[in-house]
Amino acid sequence: MVAAGVGLLALLLAAFWLRERSRTRRLHARVADAQLHLQRLERAFSRFAPPQIVDRIARGDATTGEKKEVTVLFADLAAFTQLAEGVEPAVLVRIVNGYFERMNRVVSEHRGYVAALLGDGLLAFFGALDANPWQSDDAAHAALAMRAELADYNRELTAEALPAITLGVGIHRDTGVAGVVGSRELSTFSVVGRVVNVASRTQVLTRVHGVDILLTQSLRDVLDPRFVVRELPADEMRGIAGKVVTFALERFEGD
């Protein structure tokens, strides 16, 4: 009787152990699947948001939005329609991709974040991710570096008998709301508010004044005095009451 009881207990314990081992394996498989799914989501989302935001979302502490003082840089290729009509589609894509790759690198090197590529336009933010007291100087340095990088790129294009491209940059500083915006299918980190519209319209005025980099008064007021700027005649800006004074950014005189 005792032996039979011990044998039955051993069988029960063995059955319990086998069941728990199977259950543990299933749990490990589910955890592995969840981790793989999270990694895939992070990789996909990293295309639309900077690493800092991806990390916050992964930790579950992403915010819905935050009001911040930001500097917005909007760049646009001039005479892009004529360029598009003058070259083959494959060549056009190669030219534009080369341009965007260079400009994105320059913005990143100056602590900016390229939030969107809008056709032939580029939207970048400085000071939107983290507090940056030098955000406006960074944006101005980035614009000057974009000018130099474009000159170098144009030398490559003309060496291939391809048309050179020209750039217009508008920079503005003001308050906006920074956060993750979009839908379940497509989300991105961006800044929402009037500051973006003013930067875009400042860029439009580069064509009016015949300059490549244009700053607003609010940005000029906080800029390092070693930046050399030239005040331009006041002109109308769509959506803004009265005429607006802007400043052409010429160079930086310093180390």
Residue-wise pLDDT tens digits, 168-207: 999 999 998 887 776 766 667 778 889 999 999 999 999 9
How far is it, in rounded angstroms, from Cα 250 to Cα 85? 31
Non-local CB neighbours of 236 within 8 Å, separated by 6+ positions:
243, 244
| Residues forming beta bridges with residue 166, ordered by sequence position | 78
Angle between helices 89-109 and 135-159 (to 10 degrees): 150
18-75 pLDDT, tens digit each: 777 777 777 666 655 555 554 554 554 455 556 666 665 555 545 567 888 999 999 9
Cβ pair 206, 230 in contact under 8 A: no
Work out whether the CA dihedral 45, 46, 48, 51 comes out positive or negative: positive
Q: Which two tokens stand for residue 226?
A: 């070693």
Would you list the domain boundaries of the chain?
A: 1-45, 51-252
CATH number of 51-252: 3.50.50.60, 3.40.50.10440, 3.40.50.300, 3.30.70.1230?
3.30.70.1230
> What would the mean pLDDT of 222-249 be, rounded to a whole number?
91
Is 0.85 topped by the overall pTM?
Answer: no
Angle CA 165–169–172, to nearest 5: 170
